[in-house]
Chains A and B, each alone.
Chain A
Amino acid sequence: MSEKTNQAPVLEVTDLGIDFGGLTAVNDLNLTVYPNEIVGLIGPNGAGKTTVFNMLTKVYQPTRGTIKLNGQDTAKMTTIDVNKAGIARTFQNIRLFMNMSVLDNVLTGMHNEITYGNVSAIFRLPKYYREEKEKSERAMELLKIFGLEKKADLIAGNLPYGEQRRLEIARALATRPKLLLLDEPAAGMNPQETEELMNTIRFVRDHFHIAVLLIEHDMKLVMGICERITVLNFGMMLTQGTPDEIRSNPDVIKAYLGE
């Protein structure tokens, strides 16, 4: 961990907070993610974990605090800018392009990387064919990582639940992020699938040299792959530390199990 913390952080969140009307959903959150790190964000239901993701990706505009991405303040950025700056995410309630093919879902993730314009597309100029071929090949490589290469032509909405979750990660990776946000990637998966997913997340981190911030309720997954964990409770940061520290922290146990 120490060698990683020597590098400049990918994500630096300071005193982040958001109010919905009179309700404070998240307050005083501080969070740092370094390159090549897998960080967990855990907490009981309603603690504000997904709200944090929505603030990081500018689906919600934070009321207080700053978010820095590679040292760059994201205050004036939109969801689209944030993605271009290097954050990609998955969603708690899967948000795939359900009526599009599996391959097209991943290709859609490469939207901002494709340089041909509508004229090239409509007149089918060589540039169109060249780039589509190139991107399709990369998309197939991504699908292979998630074991979906044989399902490339299927409609995304017809995939089983676990595969939809994996496809969402593949689509996020297609945008070439520096930081990947995973919102409950193992939800609805059986223990074996979860085990495979853990290996895949580690592989993705090593292969693409990215940092991963994940929300998860499956403690086996969180404790198994996260190097650091931040615990949220009622929108406030409860504690931060290594899996061992978190596991033995009485406050965390209290937050999850009650007194």
Chain B
Amino acid sequence: MNKVINTLFNPKVRSRTISFLVVIAAYVILTLLSATGHLSRLFTSLLVPVTAYIVAAIGLNLNVGISGELNLGQAGFMSIGAFSAVVVSGVLQAAGVGDILRLIICMAAGALIAALMGWLISIPVLKLQGDYLAIVTLAFGQIIMSLLNNSYVGIDSKGLHFAFVNNTIQMEQGGRLLISGPMGATGVGIASTFTAGFVLVLIALAVVYNLMYSRSGRAIMASRDNRIAAESVGIKVSQAKTLAFVTASCLAGAAGALYALNYSSFAATKFDFNNSILLLVYVVLGGLGNMTGTVIATTLLVVLPEMLRFLQNYRMLIYAIVLIVIMLVSNNEFLRLRMQMLRTRLKKKGAEADE
């Protein structure tokens, strides 16, 4: 843990540079592979979802790693962003707005609405700490999913129509449903591209790093490390925690929008509790507070289950086992020390051999 934090804070510029380099390198390589036809259909289809999950996970790491509050509702905020984007996209499509502009506006709208919801939810949630806070965020994630699972939104020439629980929307001819309850979003005009996802990841990294290494970032980390001491130097702990929470929701919202405009249809259950847990797994595996780690862990763990498809029925079992092994190996103090000993012994041997 200390080692992670040491490399994270020591030369602040370094961790940031590494993050950006990793992302840019991955983008260049994948784009080249894709252009030369070396990337399978399956991988190509994963490019956008991976970037969306990375952005949501970066936000969650700000919340869990930097602010130190366990949030089990991040998928809920992705969901808010996704469904907001679907509605906004429907309106923009009706108005004949071009794809790129539509995507940008949708992501901004998703981010904004999710941030607003995050702020509203943070008012009751951040009165709690630790496990209690985690459970309440879990509940909010479930509430959001249930609400969206029962929402109906339609659009026709008169504008938007809303209904709840039962589809009572009466539309004139030519109108269409954007969100139809448990069926989820339908007829979404696909606009997301890998490049857009890549740019969003860069923006997310820039926002999180710039915030981390600033007055507010220090306040957030100070509130995490020692609440009483933070107050003793005049920091409003709740304000700092709110900022982290809202920024995390905002990023999840943008990620949700990116995700949404990548599929012509998807259901609200796509962003269930499992998804929140998975996002948390990415963050923990990548290392709390370590953004580069989050990027790499997310990529690996989104791609892994797809690569295990050949195992058929045993897929999720093997996935879980692989996950356990990775966690044990990557966070094992005993193994780390053994490796260190081995390395020093090898160095010694090398030195002896030189003589």
Question: Chain A interface (Cβ within 8 Å of chain B)?
Answer: 57, 59, 78-80, 83-84, 88-89, 91, 95-101, 104, 107-109, 111-112, 114, 116, 118, 121-124, 128, 132, 153, 155, 157-158, 171-172, 174-175
Contact = CB atoms under 8 A, between A and B. Distances in A.
A5 B171 CA distance: 83
Nearest to A107: B218
Interface stretch (B70-78, B110-118, B220-228, B334-342): B220-228
Contacts of B224: 99
B232 A100 contact: no
Nearest to B219: A111
Contact of A83 (B11, B222, B233): B233
Which one of B221, B224, B233, B243 has the greatest number of beta carbons of chain A within 10 Å? B233
Contact of B221 (A57, A100, A128, A174): A100
Contacts of B9: 99-101, 104, 153, 155
B36 interface: no
A111 B211 contact: no
Contact of B214 (A80, A99, A101, A121): A121
A98 B230 CA distance: 12
A255 to B, nearest CB: 29
A122 B225 contact: no
Contacts of A83: 231-234
Contacts of A100: 9, 218, 221-222, 225
B345 interface: no
Contacts of A114: 215
A118 B243 contact: yes
Given A128-B214, A155-B2, A108 B219 contact: yes
Contact of B229 (A97, A99, A122): A97
A153 B234 contact: no
B216 interface: yes
B312 interface: no
22 contacts: A57-B232, A79-B232, A80-B235, A83-B233, A88-B233, A89-B232, A91-B229, A95-B228, A96-B226, A97-B225, A97-B226, A99-B221, A100-B9, A101-B9, A104-B9, A104-B221, A111-B215, A118-B211, A121-B216, A153-B11, A155-B9, A158-B2
A153 B235 CA distance: 22
B215 A98 contact: no
Contacts of B229: 91, 95-97
A202 B64 CA distance: 42
Q: Which of B5, B10, B224, B225 has most chain A Cβ within 10 Å?
A: B225
B211 to A, nearest CB: 6
Nearest to B11: A153
Given A101-B9, A121-B211, A95 B233 contact: no
Contacts of A95: 226, 228-229, 232
Interface of B: 2, 5-6, 9-11, 206-207, 210-211, 214-219, 221-222, 224-226, 228-236, 243
Contacts of A104: 9, 218, 221
Contacts of A121: 210-211, 214-217
A128 B234 CA distance: 20
A129 to B, nearest CB: 11
Nearest to B240: A111
A80 B231 contact: yes
Contacts of B228: 59, 79, 91, 95
Contacts of A112: 234
Contacts of A123: 210
B234 A175 contact: yes
Contacts of B235: 80, 108, 111
B219 to A, nearest CB: 6
The listed residue with most B CB atoms (<10 A of its CB), out of A91, A108, A128, is: A108
Nearest to B206: A122
B41 to A, nearest CB: 38
Contact of A111 (B207, B210, B233): B233
Nearest to A124: B210
Contacts of A128: 214
A158 B217 CA distance: 21
A123 B236 CA distance: 23
A175 B233 contact: yes
Contacts of B5: 99, 155
Contacts of A107: 218
A108 B2 contact: no
A157 B2 contact: yes
A123 B226 CA distance: 28
Contacts of B226: 95-98
Contacts of B206: 122
A153 B8 CA distance: 11
B234 A80 contact: yes
A116 B232 CA distance: 21
B13 to A, nearest CB: 12
Contacts of A157: 2
Contacts of B11: 153
Contact of A101 (B10, B210, B234): B10
Contacts of B233: 83, 88, 108-109, 111, 171-172, 174-175
